Amino acid sequence: MSEPTKDAAAPDHHNMLLSQGFSSFPTTATLDHHLINYNHYSPFMMYHDLQNPSTDQFDRTHHHNPPDHDLCSLFLQASADYITTTPSTPFHLSSNNCSSSEVAVCNTSKNCNNSNTEVVITDIAAENPPTPNSWGSLSSPEAGGVDEDSSSKGKKDLQLKVCEGGDIGKSKKLKAEKTKKKEDKKKQREARFAFMTKSEVDNLEDGYRWRKYGQKAVKNSPFPRSYYKCTSQKCSVKKRIERSHEDPLVVITTYEGQHNHHSPATIRGGAAAAFFTPSLFSPPPPPLPPAFPIFPQVDLFSPSTTTQQYSQQQQPQLPDHHHYSLFPDMLSSFLRNPHDP
């Protein structure tokens, strides 16, 4: 997981969570073609293998408790910081396992001060995230980027050629070209992150201002999906909010793209300031329970440093990509154990 870069004045949501007893972990990876989801912040490192639901190790004992909405929002703000300021994702994902409408299931449980919050971040399609230099020119029609219409028109032309071609070899070649074009188009899509949050409130405050531009009924779900755009000029970030049909208490928030500006709440000290209220930061959090045995609780940025040291060392810097490259191997080694016969 990366450390967001911040202004001196900006609240440090990441460290606020760390001070609450949450530790930082990467989000998602694939292992043996299985999509594995990790907690973003959690005192417990838990996971769920999508293709082996029997390995579900979620702590469901606190689900009846009312969720702590402030904490949910803090998660979202920290995650939004991450999305806004992280120039690259930790590792590539197999987004094929997860369609735009499917969000992988994984839970994080925290039982602290009678609050129970479950937040999950799933990097759905981060195959070709923009670099920091490209933040101002994200590929979207609104930002004057790649025109989706023209690419789809080209695709139609290609389909026509495939139909007209009598030569099998040529047809195969064209089909391959078609597939490649499809993949290229997928790569052009903005990075997407899905958050699953246990909450009675659909639209949790995440520090940014959004304008709703659509709502659609979702197949096989009684709950509609809402579409939002960031109201900031030249920012093409979108988010979708829907409730899980499997668990109506779970809100699935999917962010697409990266903000090219800071959170208005951060600047105004509005919503973010609420997180400094005594309800969250006084009295100090109780000691952490032991980490989940299979997944040692480590700070992946600097395993030997404390949270405080970590923030002092890392805060002013951009995320170091070398750290990310360590994650897949490290986590794969963690994750293999539960599946071993």
Binding site for DNA (CB under 7 A): 100-101, 141-142, 148-149, 151-152, 155-156, 182, 209-219, 225-228, 231, 238, 240
Q: Taking CA 107 as the corner, what is the angle to CA 32 and CA 272, rounded to the nearest 5 degrees?
A: 125
- H/E segment holding residue 228: strand 224-230
Question: 14 or 243, CB closer to DNA?
Answer: 243
Cβ 155 to DNA, closest distance in Å?
6
Q: Whole-number minimum distance, CB 133 to DNA, in Å? A: 24
* Shortest reach from residue 121's CB to DNA, in Å: 18
Q: Which of 110, 331, 316, 73 lies closest to 207 in space, CA to CA?
A: 73
Instruction: Give the dihedral of Cα atoms 77, 79, 82, 85; nearest 10 deg.
Output: -40
- Whose Cβ is closer to DNA: residue 66's or residue 141's? 141
* CB of 44 or CB of 228, closer to DNA: 228
Taking the least distance from each CB to DNA, the nearer of 34 and 178 is: 178
Q: Least distance to DNA from the beta carbon of 125, Å?
A: 10
Q: How far is the C-alpha of 237 from the C-alpha of 215, rounded, in Å?
A: 17
Residues found in the chain: 341
Residue whose structure tokens are 């170091």: 320
**What's the CA gap between 273 and 173, in Å, rounded?**
58
By beta-carbon proximity to DNA, the closer residue of 141 and 144 is: 141
Q: How far apart are CA 6 and CA 91, in angstroms?
A: 23
Q: How far is the CB of 170 from DNA (least distance, A)?
A: 20
| Residue 237 zone, left/alpha/beta (φ > 0; ψ -120 to 50; rest) | beta
Specify the residue, 6 or 259, whose C-beta has the smaller distance to DNA: 259
Cβ distance to DNA smaller for residue 12 or 242: 242
Query: Nearest approach, Cβ of 215 to DNA (angstroms)?
Result: 3
The span from the CA of 46 to the CA of 71, in Å, is 19
Q: Provide, rounded to whole angstroms, the least separation between the CB of residue 218 and DNA.
A: 5
Helix (H) or strand (E) holding 123: strand 119-123
